[in-house]
Amino acid sequence: MEKTIVIAEDEPITRMDICEILEEAGYKVVGKASDGFDAIELCRKFNPDLVLMDIKMPLLNGLKATKVIKEENLAKCVVLLTAYSTKEFIESAKQMGVMGYVVKPINERTLLPSIEVAISKSEEIEKMKKEAEESKEKLSNRKLIEKAKGILIKDGMTEEEAYNKIRKISMDKRCPMKNVAEAIIINNS
């Protein structure tokens, strides 16, 4: 599946050059913006894999637009494009959680590796977030089942009998054990 990219660059020639480099490399440029406001709107529309964001732009600068994109989770990752490499800009970029920082002038040799690494890292982070969320849900379900088992144990069952009862009801009703556990808890509240 080809990766989607939004380009936010206020200089038309630079924007066109970047677009050409990316499309020749097999990326799909889904939107081009000349300011941070339009970049946000394009991200809302396309939810791209990556945003290439110039820092100095009219109306809404790239750092402020990046903040909105990150807060609203409108793109998987952001790589900043800039002619500025001062410590202040780099610190701002780090605090915002951008995945890359490319200093102009842009060329294929510097741009493409930065994009590849940024997309790869964002995919890794997404995978870790998903795994953490799944673990959290499993733990929550486990707590509910343990609480329901505790209720059944108070009614005279052994731990194994309580678990087997929840499991059997779950299988008979074709629903998750969590749902059965919730019903047992509600019924004994």
What's the pLDDT tens digit per position in 39-85? 999 999 999 999 999 988 888 888 899 999 999 999 999 999 888 77
What confidence score (pLDDT) does residue 117 get? 93
Predicted local distance difference test score (pLDDT) of residue 91: 82
- Using an 8 Å Cβ cutoff, are 11 and 62 in contact? no
Conformation bin of residue 77: beta by default, left when phi > 0, alpha when psi is -120 to 50: beta
CATH 1.10.10.10 in the chain: give the residue spans: 131-187
Query: At a CB cut-off of 8 Å and minimum separation 6, what does 99 contact?
Result: 50, 77, 78, 79, 117, 118, 119, 121, 122
- Asked if the 131-187 domain carries CATH number 3.30.830.10, the reply is no
Give the model's pLDDT for residue 13.
92
pLDDT for 137 equals 94
62 within 8 A of 20, measured Cβ to Cβ:
no
Residues of the chain with pLDDT under 50: none
CATH number of 4-106: 3.40.50.2300
Query: For residue 33, what are the β-bridge partners?
Result: 8
For 141, the token pair is: 């379900």
Q: What angle do CA 93, 71, 57 make, to 5 degrees?
A: 50
Closest CA to 121 of 146, 98, 87: 98
Chain-centre distance for alpha carbon 94: 17
Q: Where in the chain is the domain with CATH 3.40.50.2300?
A: 4-106
Predicted TM-score (pTM) of the model is 0.75
On the CB side of 51, CA atoms within 13 Å amount to 37
